[in-house]
Structure 1
Amino acid sequence: MKVFGKVIVVTGAGGGIGRELVSQLLEKGAKVAAIIHKSGLEEIKSFATVYGDNISTHFANLANREDVEKLPEEINSVHGCIDGVINNAGIIQPFHNVNDLDYEQIQRVMDVNFYGTLYMCKSFLPHLIERPEAHITNVSSMGGFLPVPLQSIYCASKAAVKMFTEGLHLELRNTNVGVTIVFPGGVDTNLVRNAGIEIGKVDNHSYKLLSPTEAAVIIISGMENNKYRVLARNDAKLMDFLYRLNPKKATSIIAKKITTP
């Protein structure tokens, strides 16, 4: 589905990949409903000075189903229709073993990453199905198919997004709604830097962090080309291959490549 002239909903729009998605979609002639929670309002407002009514801002806690269920009506009242959804928002867990995590921390990661994606898809699907052409893109993670050190719950949440999205693709294969699952590798965002993650051998091209700008280009391209599965750049592609070949060896490699606090 080409995004020109379409109304696209983007979650996690306040920064990082989300902000770049908003920027690039607007540049390509789309109208954007930017979903934010607590931060990023000023950055999103800056787009309105250039793109005017082509962008709207909506507040929602994706972990709250009632918040999410209000969004379609809000967005329809502004833009008149909804053609696509990019579920980009996500959080990581504290860098602890499962044994050291409390249930509140575990619940929050699952609520935002998995249930937030589920709520968005369930709330917007009735509207997308009515469109001549529509698309859902869900952003998982390399951690959705490969365990990352001290991120077991995060990986479980992203693996749930993976299987949910693949199942959704199967259900919607004979409809006008395309479905894409995206697996970014390491992305250079504040989320990563604030967590203190270090990627080993940064001079090795295969393990350079992907910029939010590059990640957004790849995600939008996947939507426009109706891709089933998108591996965002070299590290995700390499580890996907290695994990299929030898899961235990791939797990050992990622443990050595990524140094956590």
Structure 2
Amino acid sequence: MSYEKAFLLNRMERFFYLGYKTLFNSHSRLVFAFCMHLFEFNNMVIITGTSRGIGKAIAENYLSLNEKVIGIGRNHPISHPQYSSIHCDLSIPESVEQISFPDLSLEAVVFIHNAGILGTVDYFEKLDSTEISRVMQVNLFAGAVILQKLLRQIPKSQSFKSIFISSGAGKTPIASWASYCASKAAVDLFCQTIQEEEQQLGRKNFHCLSVAPGVVDTDMQTFIRNTDEQAFREVARFKEYKNSNQLFSPELVAKKLFKLVHETPLEQVLYSLRDIHL
């Protein structure tokens, strides 16, 4: 059986089984709508950095819909029958090169490169060169290598969406964040280039997105607020974000990202979740 037929059969079985159950449910209309939602989505979701913050929230959101999730990283606190993990230190190129995936040919694939680090916050001339390399490795190179592995493995006719978490810092310079800003700017152009390349290669069911989540209440924000003002003069601005409740929760970001990826016509590469409304 071809993977296309198997994929369709899997969706049909899932739909009719759940649809049958709803006929005898007192809340049949609501549950049947949920069944339609499940019929539409049947994904293998691969996410880097699922131990905390945005990545953990994204993984848990997909798992709540009973989607299969593979987490890539050093720590894996999520326990769920649909969750599996690949141990990898994304800051080490050799560790990323060792990643391999199971057969992905029977499901739509979603790859989300969420893992990212800010690095040392200080003026560029004071930074250690190894720290600059580490930021670029985690924020861009690791995701690029994983994406390349997936592009080589997934058939060109198969549904495949690749999402890199970017940042407004990739569009606006922020003093003392040179490595981070550069890495996120590179993410934007990398995704635009990959989208163009794969269109030329005939991959019609592929989308490569670079998505800025907004300012999110994560450990990174805590780190920024605790930075010495001598090294980062905009500390007060980030403290005000927290004090005035301007930070998005990781859970809200996860829901907005899901709506963008699965419920929005994808007509471009660069997106901001500030523009996605639930």
Instruction: Choose the corresponding residue for 1:195, options 224, 227, 231.
Output: 224
Paired residues for 1:83-232 under 5 Å: 83-130=109-156, 132-173=158-199, 174-175=202-203, 176-196=205-225, 198-199=237-238, 201-202=240-241, 208-224=246-262, 225=264, 227=266, 228=268, 229-232=270-273
What is the CA distance between 1:64 and its match in structure 2? 3.2
Where does residue 71 of structure 1 map in the other structure? Answer: 99
CA contact (8 A) 2:93 2:137 kept: no
Deviation at 1:133, TM superposition (A): 1.0
| Equivalent AA in structure 1 for residue 216 of structure 2 | V
| Cα distance between partner residues in 1 of 2:120 and 2:254 | 26
Residue 44 (1) aligns with residue 61 (2): no
Unaligned 5+ segments in structure 2 are 1-37, 226-234
Q: How many equivalent pairs are there?
A: 222
Aligned-partner SS, 2:248: coil
Q: TM-score, normalised by structure 2?
A: 0.72
Residue of structure 1 in register with 2:88 after alignment: 60
Instruction: Give the fraction of aligned pairs with identical amino acids, expressed as a percent.
Output: 26
State the SS of the aligned residue for 2:217: coil
Shift in Å, 1:28:
2.4
- TM-score with structure 1 length normalisation? 0.76
CA RMSD of aligned residues (A): 2.7
CA distance in 1, matches of 2:162, 2:197: 13
- Kept in 1: contact 2:123–2:177 (CA 8 A): yes
Q: How far did 1:130 drift?
A: 4.4
CA distance in 1, matches of 2:265, 2:84: 25
Q: Is the 8 A contact 2:49 2:114 kept in 1?
A: yes
Q: Secondary structure at the match of 2:207?
A: strand
Does 2:63 match 1:26?
A: yes
Contact between 1:129 and 1:177, CA under 8 Å: does it hold in 2?
no
Report SS of the residue matched to 1:233.
helix
- Alpha-carbon distance between aligned partners in 2 of 1:76 and 1:70, rounded to the nearest angstrom: 16
Provide the rounded CA distance (Å) in 2 between the counterparts of 1:26 and 1:151.
Answer: 34
Q: Which has the higher contact order (CA 8 A, sep 6+)?
A: 1
Query: Structure 1 226/115 Cα, relative in aligned 2: closer, same or farther at 3 Å?
Result: farther
**CA deviation after TM superposition for structure 1 residue 105, in Å:** 1.0
Q: What per-residue deviation string (whole Å, max 9, x for no partner) do you get for residues 149-170 of structure 1?
A: 3101100011111100011111
Q: 1:166 corresponds to which letter in structure 2?
A: Q
Report the equivalent of 2:10. none
Structure 1: where are the runs of 5+ without partners? 237-261
Partner of 1:247: none
Whole-angstrom CA distance in 2 between matches of 1:160 and 1:218: 23
**Which secondary structure state, in structure 1, belongs to the residue aligned with residue 163 of structure 2?**
strand
* Partner Cα separation in structure 1 for residue 253 and residue 207 of structure 2: 20
